[in-house]
Amino acid sequence: MKGLMLLRIAVAVILLTHSVFGIFNNGINDFGNLYLNQIGFAPFGLFLAWSIKLSHIVAAILLILNKYVRAAGFVTIFILIMGIVFVHFQEGWFVVGGGRNGVEYNFLLICVLLTIMFPNGLQEKI
């Protein structure tokens, strides 16, 4: 796992920046109230939005500390897949260029997390 330190830190930085900015610019509240509640998660949208972002912060810390990496990865992958299902899939593949807000970024993060979680391949015992 030491050889994956750079990937762990890179994913941690991504998770932290994606979460922390939302705390200070009202993005998390907007995501909960103006998106999640509107697509059927009311009255739990705000709770879900904060749970998602706080889980990203916890996962980032665990990745940096190299502790409970698989648990952090499984939770984060679940959230990323739900993001694909509810937000990104309808926008297509590309985040920029050939489209906007697509699946490709989440797909890459999922692959990187799986690599961190299973450095010897997916045939490794969970």
85 vs 103: CA distance, rounded Å: 9
Single-letter residue type at 59 = A
30 vs 99: CA distance, rounded Å: 23
Whether this prediction's pTM lies above 0.85 is answered by: yes
Q: What is the pLDDT of residues 62-88, one digit of tens each?
A: 999 999 999 999 999 999 999 999 999
pLDDT of residue 3: 77
Q: What is the pLDDT of residues 28-63, one digit of tens each?
A: 999 999 999 999 999 999 999 999 999 999 999 999
User: Which long-range contacts does 105-108 make (Cβ < 8 Å, 24+ apart)?
Assistant: 106/80, 106/81
User: What ranges do the domains of the chain cover?
Assistant: 4-117
